[in-house]
Amino acid sequence: MAIKDYDDLNEIQLDVLKEIGNIGAGNAATSLADMLMTPIDISVPVVRILDYEEATERLGGPETMIVGLMIQLEGDFQGMIMFLLEKEFAAMTLNTLIGTEINSFSELDEVALSAFKELANIMAASYVNAIASMTGMRIDLTVPDLCIDMLGAILSVPAIHYANISDKIILIEGEFNGESAKTANHVLLLPDVDSLEKTMTALGIEL
C-alpha cells in the first residue's frame, strides 16, 4: 500500500525511522563531542508521529523559549529537518565553540551566527548521512535558518510551509549526556511521502 500520510507507516517502516534516528543521533553525538572536545553519550531515541499541537505540548508548551535550527533537504530525499535546542545548552555550546560568554541571544554577532549554522550543518549531516548510507540516495542540504523564539512560533513555520506534506511530524527524541551538561535532543523530520516511499523501496521494504 502506498504511503499517503505519516499515519500510514506500519511497524516495520517505523522501525526504519528508529534506526535512522539511532544512527543519526550517534553520529551527531560523536560530531558534537569532537566540536566541544568532551565525551557525550546518548540515550536510545524514541520516534513518534504527532500532530503539531501534540508536539508543542510534549516539548514544553507554545510559550517555551527555544532555539530552532531548520534545514531543507533536497535531491533524492526532500523535505525538512529541524533541531530544537534548549537555550541553556545552546548557550553553553556556543560559548565553547567561539570562546566568549553569550549573555543575550538577541545580540548575536556574525561569528556566533556562523557557529550556530555550522552546528546545524554538522548535526543535519549526521542524520542525512544515516539515510544516504542506508539507501544510496543523494541528499543535499540548504543553508540553515536560525530562529530563537517561543516554541509555538517556531513550529508554525514548518506547519505552514509543509502543510502539503502532512499535518503531522516525525519527532525523534533522545538525550545528550556530557560531563558538565545534560539536554534533551529533539529532532523534527518532515520528508515528503515520495521520499519516504523511495527510502522504503531502497531498503527492500514492501509498501
Tell me which amino acid residue 46 is. V
Collapse the DSSP code of 26 into the 3-class scheme (helix H, G, I; strand E, B; otherwise coil) and give the result: helix
Name the more confident of 92 and 139. 139
Give CA–CA dist 13/10, Å, rounded.
Answer: 5
Quick one: pLDDT band at residue 179, thresholds 50, 70, 90?
A: low
Give the pLDDT score at 207: 65
For position 50, what pLDDT does the model report?
Answer: 92
Q: What is the pLDDT, as a whole number, of residue 78?
A: 93
70-85 pLDDT, tens digit per residue, is 999 999 999 999 988 8
Question: pTM of the predicted model, to two decimals?
Answer: 0.85
Set of cell numbers at residue 200: 522504503
Mean pLDDT of 186-201: 90
- The dihedral of CA 134, 137, 143, 145: what is its sign? negative
